[in-house]
């Protein structure tokens, strides 16, 4: 079966600047992938290339094996929600639903009505008069009523308060539980990622730094604490960060096997700390994750 | 029926928190043979967590022989867990008491003891022994 989303050597330049380059990824069916990276790392560019809103300067992007820009069949399987949850503010919620129904060959009107009723959002209200959280839920309902097999969300919760954020993600995740929807979402809210996603992609300066299943990534990375000014022990693939004083050295590392040296103690690393370590060190690349065998190291 | 809750600060992976809560509910009799666990969708929607996390927890409970999944119906408790509460294992309890006494003689206070115990627990979870 073709991957819901696959990009190979993907690049896009604007003028003389590459917003994204040498990007290769494969999103597995049924996975929920978090796409993180600093502002300007190319997250939105990647997602817009994926759904055919931008055309690649080099490389390819395919959705279920088809190029998105030219395949209506592929696009019909994708739900894409842009950063600002765009809605026609002057239209009522009911009008927006009728519009969605008219424009999409696959449209589950009962789902849309039922979900909005569950949320207590009246159909007669104009979109512009709803709260930010309600607008986001209406935009998400329109996207989900299309019954997409692949859901792409660009910074979906950035503008929402914590409660609205929780409700929004609960809707996305319940849909994934019901229908096995593949989800790709970009986010700045790193602390919530571990709960929500099972795969992680870190983009830094237009390139993929990390790509893998979160359980594997957490299994491979550790905090090591050892004596002051000690050189790192053997059994490491990569030292991500090093903080040393006279008395103690603290490393964030990617393991290559168990650390045998008794002078070092190992501690698990939270996903948030792992992401931050990579974001702090844009040159640290571990593109090898996706292709490696995923044996447990613990 | 039990209700799951999550402690984001515990450092214990989410799926293990779910596994532990089911095991705990079995031990204290809150769950009994034939009882149904919450549907995956219900857990996902109430906690806003990844469905694959819930599935992983339920798979682990099933492979441990504690529950059985009936496709399209749900997940059910299969066995009564023998009472493994602290009171029912006097040997373990005696050893723990001895350990506490020894630690006090070393000059550790209550907080030190909790920290030491939590750290040992955390390490064993991290190494997948739990």
DSSP A11-68: EEEETTEEEEEEEEEEEPTT-EEEEE--TTSSHHHHHHHHTTSS--SEEEEEETTB-T
Co-location of B16 and B69 in the same domain: yes
Co-location of A145 and A262 in the same domain: no
Closest Cβ–Cβ partner in A177, A191, A196 for B40? A177
CA of B38 to nearest chain A CA: how many angstroms apart? 13
Q: To probe the interface with B, which of A31, A133, A164, A177 has the most B CB atoms within 10 Å?
A: A177
Closest Cβ–Cβ partner in A195, A268, A298 for B48? A195
- Residue B64 structural domain: 8-77
Co-location of B53 and B107 in the same domain: no
A186 within domain boundaries:
yes
Co-location of B59 and B113 in the same domain: no
The single residue listed with the structure tokens 């996902």 is B44
Q: Do B48 and A173 touch (CB under 8 A)?
A: yes
A296 within domain boundaries:
no
Tell me the CATH number at A94.
3.40.50.300
Give A135-189 pLDDT, tens digit per residue: 999 999 999 999 999 999 999 988 888 888 899 999 999 999 999 999 999 987 7
- Is the separation of the CB atoms in A61 and A50 below 8 Å? yes
Greater pLDDT, A190 or A82: A82
- Is the separation of the CB atoms in A138 and A96 below 8 Å? yes
Per the structure, the count of domains in chain B is 2
The first and second tokens of residue A225, run together, are 């604490």
Contact A269/B at CB under 8 A = no
Of A13-27, A107-121, A203-217, the poorest mean pLDDT is in A203-217
pLDDT of A262 over the 80 cut: yes
Co-location of A169 and A97 in the same domain: yes
**Which A positions 22-41 lie with beta carbon below 8 A of chain B?**
30-32
Q: Do B41 and A194 touch (CB under 8 A)?
A: no
Q: To probe the interface with B, which of A168, A174, A183, A223 has the most B CB atoms within 10 Å?
A: A174
Co-location of A58 and A184 in the same domain: yes
Tell me the CATH number at B14.
1.10.10.10
Closest Cβ–Cβ partner in B44, B122, B128 for A174? B44
Look at residue A289 in the predicted model and tell me its pLDDT.
39
B36 sits in the region (left: phi over 0; alpha: psi -120 to 50; else beta) called beta
Contact A59/B at CB under 8 A = no
Query: If DSSP codes are grouped into helix, strand and coil, which group holds residue A95?
Result: helix
Taking the CB of residue B38, how many other CB atoms lie within 10 A of it? 20
Look at residue A291 in the predicted model and tell me its pLDDT.
35
Give A228-250 pLDDT, tens digit per residue: 888 888 889 889 989 988 889 99
CA of B50 to nearest chain A CA: how many angstroms apart? 5
Backbone angles phi, psi at A89, to 5 degrees: -65, -25
Co-location of A42 and A89 in the same domain: yes
Co-location of B73 and B12 in the same domain: yes
Cα A156 to Cα A139: distance, rounded to the nearest angstrom? 10
Per the structure, the count of domains in chain A is 2
pLDDT averaged per 10 residues in sequence order, chain B, 130 residues? 85 89 89 93 93 95 93 87 59 86 89 81 64
Co-location of B67 and B92 in the same domain: no
Which of A178, A205, A232 represents a domain boundary (last residue)?
A: A205
Co-location of A161 and A267 in the same domain: no
A167 within domain boundaries:
yes
Look at residue A261 in the predicted model and tell me its pLDDT.
85
Co-location of A244 and A261 in the same domain: yes
Co-location of A144 and A266 in the same domain: no
Look at residue A252 in the predicted model and tell me its pLDDT.
93
pLDDT of A114 over the 80 cut: yes
CA of A268 to nearest chain B CA: how many angstroms apart? 7
pLDDT of A98 over the 90 cut: yes
Which of A83-87, A142-146, A290-294 holds the top average pLDDT?
Answer: A142-146
- Is the separation of the CB atoms in A60 and A67 below 8 Å? yes
How does A238-249 read in b/e, with b if 16+ C-beta sit within 10 Å? eebbeeeeeeeb
Find the farthest-apart pair of alpha carbons in chain B and give their distance in angstroms, rounded.
57
- Residue A82 structural domain: 5-205
Co-location of A130 and A90 in the same domain: yes
Q: Do B50 and A166 touch (CB under 8 A)?
A: no
Look at residue B129 in the predicted model and tell me its pLDDT.
47
A9 sits in the region (left: phi over 0; alpha: psi -120 to 50; else beta) called left
Closest Cβ–Cβ partner in A195, A215, A267 for B49? A195
Q: What is the mean pLDDT of residues A203-208?
A: 84
If you compute the radius of gyration of chain A from its CA atoms, what whole number of angstroms results? 21
Q: Do B44 and A173 touch (CB under 8 A)?
A: yes
Interface predicted TM-score of the whole assembly (ipTM), two decimals: 0.77
Short-list A206, A280, A199, CA closest to A24: A206
Look at residue A19 in the predicted model and tell me its pLDDT.
92
A297 within domain boundaries:
no
- Is the separation of the CB atoms in A3 and A27 below 8 Å? yes
Co-location of B96 and B70 in the same domain: no
Which of A205, A238, A257 represents a domain boundary (last residue)?
A: A205
Contact B120/A at CB under 8 A = no
Co-location of B69 and B91 in the same domain: no
* C-alpha dist (Å) from residue B7 to A77, A222, B112: 36, 21, 22
Helix (H) or strand (E) holding A210: strand A207-213
Co-location of A56 and A140 in the same domain: yes
Look at residue A105 in the predicted model and tell me its pLDDT.
86
Contact B40/A at CB under 8 A = yes
Q: What percent of chain A has pLDDT over 70?
A: 94
Which of A68-77, A142-151, A249-258 holds the top average pLDDT?
Answer: A142-151
Co-location of B13 and B64 in the same domain: yes
Q: Do A177 and B128 touch (CB under 8 A)?
A: no
pLDDT of A206 over the 90 cut: no
pLDDT of A298 over the 50 cut: no
Which of A205, A236, A270 represents a domain boundary (last residue)?
A: A205
In chain A, which residue's Cα lies nearest the Cα of B10?
A270
**Cα A19 to chain centroid, rounded:** 17
Co-location of B70 and B107 in the same domain: no
* C-alpha dist (Å) from residue A103 to A116, A140, A143: 19, 16, 12
A248-255 and A199-204: which strand pairing?
unpaired
A298 within domain boundaries:
no
């Amino acid at each position: 079966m073709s991957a819901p989303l696959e990009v190979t050597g993907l690049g896009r330049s604007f003028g003389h600047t590459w917003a994204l380059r040498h990007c290769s990824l494969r999103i597995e069916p049924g996975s929920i992938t978090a796409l993180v990276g600093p502002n300007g790392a190319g997250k939105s560019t990647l997602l817009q290339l994926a759904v055919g809103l931008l055309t690649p300067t080099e490389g390819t992007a395919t959705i279920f094996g088809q190029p998105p820009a030219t395949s209506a069949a592929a696009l019909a399987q994708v739900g894409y929600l842009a950063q600002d949850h765009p809605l026609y503010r002057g239209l009522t919620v009911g009008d927006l639903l009728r519009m969605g129904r008219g424009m999409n060959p696959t449209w589950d009107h009962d789902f849309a009505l039922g979900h909005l009723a569950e949320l207590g959002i009246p159909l007669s209200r104009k979109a512009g008069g709803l709260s930010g959280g309600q607008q986001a839920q209406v935009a998400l309902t329109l996207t989900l009523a299309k019954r997409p097999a692949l859901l792409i969300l660009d910074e979906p919760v950035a503008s929402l308060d914590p409660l609205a954020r929780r409700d929004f993600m609960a809707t996305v995740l319940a849909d994934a539980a019901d229908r096995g929807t593949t989800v790709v979402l970009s986010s700045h809210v790193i602390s919530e990622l571990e709960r929500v996603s099972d795969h992680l992609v870190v983009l830094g300066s237009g390139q993929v730094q990390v790509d893998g299943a979160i359980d594997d990534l957490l299994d491979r990375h550790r905090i090591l604490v050892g004596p002051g000014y000690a050189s790192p022990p053997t059994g490491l693939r990569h030292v991500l960060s090093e903080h040393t004083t006279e008395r103690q050295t603290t490393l964030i590392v990617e393991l290559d096997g168990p650390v045998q040296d008794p002078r070092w103690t190992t501690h698990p690393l939270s996903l948030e700390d792992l992401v931050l370590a990579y974001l702090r060190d844009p040159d640290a690349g571990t593109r090898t994750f996706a292709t490696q065998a995923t044996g447990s190291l613990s | 029926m039990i209700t799951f809750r999550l402690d984001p600060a515990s450092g214990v992976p989410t799926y293990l928190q779910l596994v532990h809560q089911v095991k705990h509910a079995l031990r204290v009799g809150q769950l009994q043979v034939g009882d149904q666990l919450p549907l995956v969708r219900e857990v996902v929607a109430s906690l806003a967590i990844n469905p694959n996390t819930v599935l992983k927890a339920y798979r682990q409970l099933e492979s441990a022989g504690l529950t059985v999944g009936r496709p399209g119906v749900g997940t059910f408790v299969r066995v009564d867990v023998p009472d493994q509460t602290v009171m029912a294992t006097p040997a373990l309890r005696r050893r723990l008491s001895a350990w506490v006494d020894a630690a006090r003689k070393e000059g550790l206070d209550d907080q030190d003891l909790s920290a030491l115990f939590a750290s040992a627990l955390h390490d064993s979870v991290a190494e997948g022994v739990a």
